[in-house]
Amino acid sequence: MTAKYIRFAAVAGALAVTVVALTACSDSSTASAPIGTEPVTTTTMPGSEPASSSKSATSSASKGDSQQAKDAASKASTSLPATKPNATTTAPDDFPGDKNPPSNVKLTDKDKAYLNALKKQNVSFMGDDDNNVALTMGHYVCEARGQKADPMLVKAYVRAAIGPMTKTEAEANTKSDKVIAAAEKNLC
């Protein structure tokens, strides 16, 4: 009989703990939407009307005067700052996003030979219109070779750069081998 009371007390205690835990979980500290029909205004945009005018527009809308609310809303939306760029603004001639490479960058003969070797082997990097990625990968291979880095790590790094341009894993491996070989032969 005593065991029966102990089991009952254990079950009641576990139930009480569960109820307390669930009650604590329902008291969330996350933000939620207000309940009710009153508008909540927290900030105003520069150039927009003060909160009192939008409050009056909202109160008139709740009274059924939708035309006045529409007029107030259109007036508030037209007072926001313009977001279009100035049409007279132009980018500098050597802007990095320009399709033409900057004129102050001179390629060495080794760089040119490396890029020609990649071109002959039909190896390219995604979005590398100015050959910056290809040259970076080539110089990385040379630096890693000079530091006696693990060849598998070097290949993994080059493969990650060439991977988006390939359709299969075998193609990615082949092209990364070509990049490494071209760099070792022409740049290093």
Segment 85-97 mean pLDDT: 71
Please report, to the nearest 10 degrees, the dihedral formed by the alpha carbons of residues 13, 14, 16, 18 taken in order. 170
- The answer on pLDDT for 94 being more than 80 is no
The string of pLDDT tens digits covering residues 2-22 is 877 787 777 777 777 776 666
The string of pLDDT tens digits covering residues 117-167 is 999 998 888 888 888 889 999 999 999 999 999 999 999 999 998 888 888
Segment 81-85 mean pLDDT: 67
Report pLDDT for 26.
Answer: 58
Report pLDDT for 27.
Answer: 52
Report pLDDT for 19.
Answer: 67
Give the rounded percent of residues in the chain with a pLDDT score beyond 70: 58
Residue 7 one-letter amino acid: R
Q: Which among 156, 155, 119 is positioned nearest to 134, based on CA atoms?
A: 119
- Of the chain, the end-to-end C-alpha distance in Å amounts to 88
